[in-house]
Amino acid sequence: MKDNTVINTEYNYDNNGNQTSVKQLSSEGNKTSTYEYDGFNQMVKSKTPEGKSLTCNYDAQGLRVSKTVDGKTTNYYYRYSSVILEKTDTSSIRNVVGVNIIARKNQEDILYYIYNGHGDVIEMQSAGGSIVNEYDYDIFGNPILENEAEGKENPYRYAGYYWDKETEYYYLRARYYNPETARFITEDSFKGYYDDPLSLNLYTYCMNSPIKYWDPDGRYYVPDPVTGEKIHASEWESRRNFRVKVRDSQGRGVSVSTGVSAYDWALQNKVNKGTGKTLITAQHLIDIGWNKRNIDIDEINRILVKYEINTTERIQHFITQVTYESGYGKYTREGEYLLDPPYNFTQEKYEAYYNKKSNYKYKDRGVGYIQTTFNYQHKFFAIDMFREEYPQYELSKVAYNHPEAIDPVYNEMLKIAKNNNLNIKHITDINDLGTDYIAKNYSWEITGWWWKQHNANELVDNSKPGDVDSVSRLVNKYDTPSFSARRDIYKKVIDYIK
């Protein structure tokens, strides 16, 4: 129903799940929009009911580099994944870009973007502070101002996405999003988690929870970096719409709010204390899609050095796997997402869910940024932590792939501790308390330990460059539907970690 007129809408798709036409049928007449795609399922042509045509071209990374509307072409030039220059035959516009777009400059003037807490563009202001453009949206991104004031043309709107006014879709780089249906027009390359039904719909936007999540590139939802955490007004400047770094190709940008360069910021976040080595910065993970609150950059680098994850290829594959396994760093305990919407399990229900399992219980479920499951693995980890802390005591050797031999060595460890009056409660709690204790105290440690025990470095070194599937198979050979999503994450990782 629209303006008291009943409208029936018919959507048609090709065999790859790409939307090929939208037909609106009403008593006032029928309207049809059509869409065409290339071999990579990228929309290359569109035609509106009014006859307006749209043609798009993409580069090798899948970024849209030109858009032609009724014969007029706009070319786009990128820094990383952000458009910094837009050119036509007669004009050019430059974007000042940090975490989001700060300002838009043409030959005549410069306009500044004002954002709300969700990262939506709500105003554009002149250098003198006058409001030039004004916008508002519903939670899925539909414009809701009846008299939307736009004194200057601007394509960046809801969540900072590019608004194609011809199709009334948002361009999210990997896909186009229709806010009217709250659906993408093509399938997601990430096929979802088999135990998370909402993730299995390949067209939904942000798990139908656009307040809690956002989608940085059309491939995968991540926790919104602002929503869900109460902050004092004095802290607001450090948040998403003001904490912006203008980066050049070397990443030596300047923070608009603090004046601290990205390069100096990285130095201030050096890690590994004893080694002084920084193999990865927090900004790398933020660029990939991690929430800043989920990043312990000191600990990550310590683990990279300790477990010799120290070549570009090793780091790329390690970060790819931990990003997927932990939901961009959010979860370090198996099934932890069940405590969040839409499931909202209580702690009691969460524990009961796992205690019903026959192969392992709540205490022994997976833990770490790559999940290490089962009691025998936790015991083995505890043994190695003892060896590391007390190298003067010799324990019998045990192979990782012989779980039946772990209990005797664990008991041997307990005997040594008792005979030498050693306080090793922090180590025995790994076994006694299990997953929750490990997640709190050893999340990154057990992840690096798992990587070493499974000879993942050697696998990466001996595999063909970019062989994500081999590493994914090592991490979870039973979750083959996730391999496509892991490959997509890898593509992002190699853009930033080089």
Whether 399 has a pLDDT exceeding 70, the answer reads yes
Whether 421 has a pLDDT exceeding 70, the answer reads yes
> What is the 3 state secondary structure string of the chain?
CECCECEEEEEEECCCCCEEEEEEEECCEEEEEEEEECCCCCEEEEECCCCCEEEEEECCCCCEEEEEECCEEEEEEEECCEEEEEECCCCEEEEEECCCEEEEECCCCEEEEEECCCCCEEEEECCCCCEEEECCECCCCCECCCCCCECCCCCECHHHCEEECCCCEEECCCCEEECCCCEECCCCCCCCCCCCHHHHCCCECHHHCCCCEECCCCCCCEECCCCCCCCCHHHHHHCCCCCCEECCCCCCCEECCCCCEHHHHHHHCCCCCCCCCCCCCHHHHHHHCCCHHHCCHHHHHHHHHHCCCCCHHHHHHHHHHHHHHCCCCCCCECCHHHHCCCCCCCHHHHHHHHHCCCCCCHHHCCECCCCECCHHHHHHHHHHHHHHHCCCCCCCCCCCCCHHHHHHHHHHHHHHHHHCCCCCHHHHHHHHCCHHHHHHHCHHHHHHHHHHHCCHHHHHHHCCCCCHHHHHHHHHCCCHHHHHHHHHHHHHHHHHCC
- Average confidence (pLDDT) over 220-243: 39
The backbone torsions φ and ψ at residue 470, rounded to the nearest 5 degrees and listed phi first, read -65, -40
Give residue 224's pLDDT band: very low, low, confident or very high (50, 70, 90). Answer: low
Q: What pLDDT, on the 0 to 100 scale, is given for residue 195?
A: 63
Q: What pLDDT, on the 0 to 100 scale, is given for residue 79?
A: 83
Task: Give the side-chain half-sphere CA count within 13 A for 466.
Answer: 8
What does the pLDDT look like over 235-260, one tens digit per residue? 322 332 322 322 222 333 333 333 33
- Average confidence (pLDDT) over 367-381: 94
Of 94-98, 139-143, 414-418, the least confident: 94-98
- Average confidence (pLDDT) over 193-205: 80
Higher pLDDT, 230 or 163: 163
Domain locations in the chain as residue ranges: 7-200, 274-498
Confirm or reject CATH 1.10.530 for domain 274-498, answering yes or no. yes
Amino acid code (one letter) for 452: K
Q: What pLDDT, on the 0 to 100 scale, is given for residue 45?
A: 98
Is-above-0.85 flag for pTM?
no
Averaged pLDDT score across all residues of the chain? 85
What does the pLDDT look like over 432-453, one tens digit per residue? 999 999 999 999 999 999 999 9
- Average confidence (pLDDT) over 361-389: 94
Q: What pLDDT, on the 0 to 100 scale, is given for residue 228?
A: 38
What does the pLDDT look like over 61-102, one tens digit per residue? 789 999 999 999 999 999 878 899 999 999 999 999 987 899
Residue 372's DSSP bridge partners are: 367
Q: What pLDDT, on the 0 to 100 scale, is given for residue 227?
A: 44
